[in-house]
Structure 1
């Protein structure tokens, strides 16, 4: 039995651009159009609504010029209106050859918006189709509000389809305009229509108002739909349209009797580009293209992946041009850390790995995000502790107020004896060091001189990144360095100082 080919029509540049606050420039539209057709390899793209603006006209013209030169012009479509040929003239001037004519798919819309009878509407549509054909324009028909039409005025929908069966229309497009259908209704309505008109090409256009866009699209294919309308990242009005990436993945994995042209490996690249151009961020947990969806957090999952890929599924990241990652945090186990160390080309013995794991858990408990790039810093911090801990910084209060000198109150324990001291300084860390000097003076001990203070963060980090402070100390007998690691720079310096105190008292 031969497989059925399903056409994928991307409408990111038309319906997706109706996302609140989104307006692509002409150059951005051209770039996205090229990627959709050449890299993602969708069958068709809907790029604009006719008559919207001069900017929209120029964007369409840029795309049609490119498409004409590269044999894609028949794959480029424009939404048009029943407007006595004004949209068709606009299309011709813009160089487009395929119109998606917006008509009324429910009696409610026809009666209260157009205030016309079905026969009047059909007559207007017939004139439009004839005019388009005479000017070399191919016509597809949108039945706006079709889903409510099937629910509330089914006789009208079938009367409309009977009329369209007499017209030179290439595709009939069935939109769930308000995103109200359930999967069972999607199947039932499309099957009823496809059974009656088996030779007509029907596209299904789903919206995501109930988060059922993908489910409805899949049921539509099962019922006999010949094409789907999707958008990159699920962009679109209100809750958006059925998202391209999720729908493609489900089709490839769960509909074995169906074929599509879309190239999975290009999905992530195109999604990220559209994210950048639109300014609409992809949620971290969005299937296929979200930042976290191929990241294992729990240590037991990483351990299972090491043992015969126990937590793998058919959704392998490599399919989509991505890689599996292993998050570091309070749920991390040794397996997560080993996976990240392998990527960095690092190896640790069991004792060192145990210490690093514990430190990552401590950082995770403070709600800090730990990245793979942080690992070398954490390793340096942990493996720097090669001394018996005789000094503990128990507590401290750091204050900084405009117009007042910074001050610190610190409590430390030195070989079982606890001291508390308050001091001021030129900065919070300077005040902390002045408090320490007072305590060590009581002990008739001298602190080494601080001769260098360096701070660094991992590349590509944000304002909440881990911060490594490296302090160089000089005493009468030696010069040495200590490191501290924390998301707060002053705290990381205090950690480095605590290490110094333990070194000089050992």
Structure 2
């Protein structure tokens, strides 16, 4: 079955609303993430990006909670955004007044309806809760507001009481009915039953606000949309209380790619929006976060990379460009020949077959040791191979370092020089100095050298970073040569760089 046929079949089986609204609550529910507090300027930045993305509604905050929330709402409103701005309010006149004071025209008002909320939080009867909800909806409508009414903890509320309170607030003028899965207990099957039942009984548009406690917020929201929900509450990166909310980018891209439902958002803005929210909230995204995670379009396996290089759709459900992301070919133990050749081509590094094989083996070896090889690592390894002596009269055969408190380090080095193995031990002010002193002692009968320059650099961060060593050596006849090496062991990298330089000097000496 083709993807097109699958989309057609799905749409025929669904009860889709004529218009699906995206209601983003990053600035309200997202900010309720423990440890997150956004400044007014930060809220403005996020609101502007959400507006540019094209979301229908932005819940800018809870005006009654602080003067700062009112100030933020006013300043965002002053930006004259295309998105509708929303303020949260409890079923209290003072909360509605705060929304009005914030210069907002749309209120999202809520009250707990489940037995747990009635008995332990509100300590109110069903009748009292219904009357409070009706009064506040009427008050808000009398003041010209669009009203979205939320039955908090709706998914743990008795079905008959949920229908009763919804009937009453619709009669009072509510414009949207919101079904919050406040503690994320829904499953797709139960969601299907609940939303279908509500759609069959209410003409008022339905909104859903699902939490992610069991990792089902996006799946449940998609199910609700299949059953006719008119609006989905979401947050950027899925941030929110406890484990968060339905993820904006996951929902929109699932609808666009898997369902063939394009909501008209500028999805190429997702990655930059995600990055901004992550930076401002301090909540780092897991590397395997769908759509916007660092690994969302990263590939290492040789089989996968081979497929990607021929046709990206083999191992990607969408192109990274669709969400403003980028593809990465990662090097490591699973790297294949095609991936490495592609990387080298990207950096315009041309190796012969022998050089390529050595670089490939080095990448595999580093991967087997548990290291993820970065592009910078690869460039250093490839350049080292390009600049290395083609013949190696001197080869290292062994190295050991001995160190102790208040004792100079001792390096024992074994070299093979023109087929003959020699070994010695030397001390130095540090392990590198001791090892290079041992090398000088072993080669003194072969070549008299002076180390003119020594440079050490860590290619990438971390304690397992590759060390790149570059040296310049000269012999007694004034010949100079460079040497380069990359290795996870600084001492070994230093010895190999010096030996590379020495081997070049030997080749010069023997060619004269």
TM-score, scaled to structure 1? 0.91
1:206-254 C-alpha deviation (Å, 9 max, x unpaired): 1111111111111111111111111111101111111111111111123
Tell me the equivalent position of 1:91: 99
Tell me the equivalent position of 2:474: 474
Tell me the equivalent position of 1:344: 347
1:78-98 C-alpha deviation (Å, 9 max, x unpaired): 111122x11122222222221
Deviation at 1:200, TM superposition (A): 1.2
Tell me the equivalent position of 2:195: 190
Tell me the equivalent position of 1:451: 452
Tell me the equivalent position of 1:498: 499
1:276-425 alignment runs, 5 A limit:
276-309=279-312, 311-398=314-401, 403-425=406-428
* Paired residue secondary structure (1:239): coil
Question: 2:112 matched to 1:109?
Answer: no
Deviation at 1:479, TM superposition (A): 0.5
Please tell me whether the aligned partners of residues 302 and 338 of structure 2 are also in contact (alpha carbons under 8 angstroms): yes
Deviation at 1:267, TM superposition (A): 0.6
Rounded to whole Å, the distance in 1 between the matches of 2:115 and 2:408 is: 76
Rounded to whole Å, the distance in 2 between the matches of 1:88 and 1:298 is: 56
Rounded to whole Å, the distance in 1 between the matches of 2:66 and 2:463 is: 41
1:398-426 C-alpha deviation (Å, 9 max, x unpaired): 35666543332333333444333332212
1:416-439 C-alpha deviation (Å, 9 max, x unpaired): 443333322122211111222333
Please tell me whether the aligned partners of residues 389 and 503 of structure 2 are also in contact (alpha carbons under 8 angstroms): no
Please tell me whether the aligned partners of residues 3 and 259 of structure 1 are also in contact (alpha carbons under 8 angstroms): no
Deviation at 1:492, TM superposition (A): 2.0
Q: Which of 154, 157, 160 lines up with 1:155 in the alignment?
A: 160
* Paired residue secondary structure (1:241): coil
Change (3 A) 1:263 1:88: same
Rounded to whole Å, the distance in 2 between the matches of 1:13 and 1:90 is: 17
CA RMSD of aligned residues (A): 2.3
Rounded to whole Å, the distance in 2 between the matches of 1:402 and 1:167 is: 82
Change (3 A) 1:308 1:275: closer
Please tell me whether the aligned partners of residues 177 and 207 of structure 1 are also in contact (alpha carbons under 8 angstroms): yes
Gaps of 5+ in 1: none
Rounded to whole Å, the distance in 1 between the matches of 2:242 and 2:311 is: 43
1:115-264 alignment runs, 5 A limit:
115-149=123-157, 153-197=158-202, 199-256=203-260, 258-264=261-267
Question: 2:56 matched to 1:53?
Answer: no
Please tell me whether the aligned partners of residues 30 and 62 of structure 1 are also in contact (alpha carbons under 8 angstroms): yes
Rounded to whole Å, the distance in 2 between the matches of 1:252 and 1:93 is: 38
Rounded to whole Å, the distance in 2 between the matches of 1:88 and 1:309 is: 51
Q: Which of 71, 87, 90 lines up with 1:81 in the alignment?
A: 90
- The range that moved more, 306-315 or 183-192, is 306-315
* Paired residue secondary structure (1:474): strand
Please tell me whether the aligned partners of residues 432 and 490 of structure 2 are also in contact (alpha carbons under 8 angstroms): no
Please tell me whether the aligned partners of residues 334 and 353 of structure 1 are also in contact (alpha carbons under 8 angstroms): no
Change (3 A) 1:488 1:312: same
Please tell me whether the aligned partners of residues 88 and 107 of structure 2 are also in contact (alpha carbons under 8 angstroms): yes
1:427-466 alignment runs, 5 A limit:
427-441=430-444, 444-456=445-457, 464-466=464-466
Tell me the equivalent position of 2:9: none
Q: Which of 23, 27, 44 lines up with 2:57 in the alignment?
A: 44
Please tell me whether the aligned partners of residues 141 and 172 of structure 1 are also in contact (alpha carbons under 8 angstroms): yes
Rounded to whole Å, the distance in 1 between the matches of 2:184 and 2:505 is: 70
1:52-95 C-alpha deviation (Å, 9 max, x unpaired): 233333322221222xx3454xx111111122x11122222222
Rounded to whole Å, the distance in 1 between the matches of 2:191 and 2:233 is: 14
Deviation at 1:386, TM superposition (A): 3.7
Rounded to whole Å, the distance in 1 between the matches of 2:46 and 2:194 is: 33
Deviation at 1:446, TM superposition (A): 4.0
Rounded to whole Å, the distance in 2 between the matches of 1:430 and 1:215 is: 61
* Paired residue secondary structure (1:411): strand
Please tell me whether the aligned partners of residues 329 and 360 of structure 1 are also in contact (alpha carbons under 8 angstroms): yes
* Paired residue secondary structure (2:172): coil
- The range that moved more, 113-122 or 216-225, is 113-122
Change (3 A) 1:310 1:28: closer
Rounded to whole Å, the distance in 1 between the matches of 2:236 and 2:404 is: 49
Question: 2:23 matched to 1:9?
Answer: yes
Gaps of 5+ in 2: 1-11, 508-512
Please tell me whether the aligned partners of residues 368 and 487 of structure 1 are also in contact (alpha carbons under 8 angstroms): no
Tell me the equivalent position of 2:3: none
Please tell me whether the aligned partners of residues 105 and 145 of structure 1 are also in contact (alpha carbons under 8 angstroms): yes
- The range that moved more, 243-252 or 342-351, is 342-351
Change (3 A) 1:488 1:90: farther
TM-score, scaled to structure 2? 0.90
Please tell me whether the aligned partners of residues 148 and 177 of structure 2 are also in contact (alpha carbons under 8 angstroms): yes
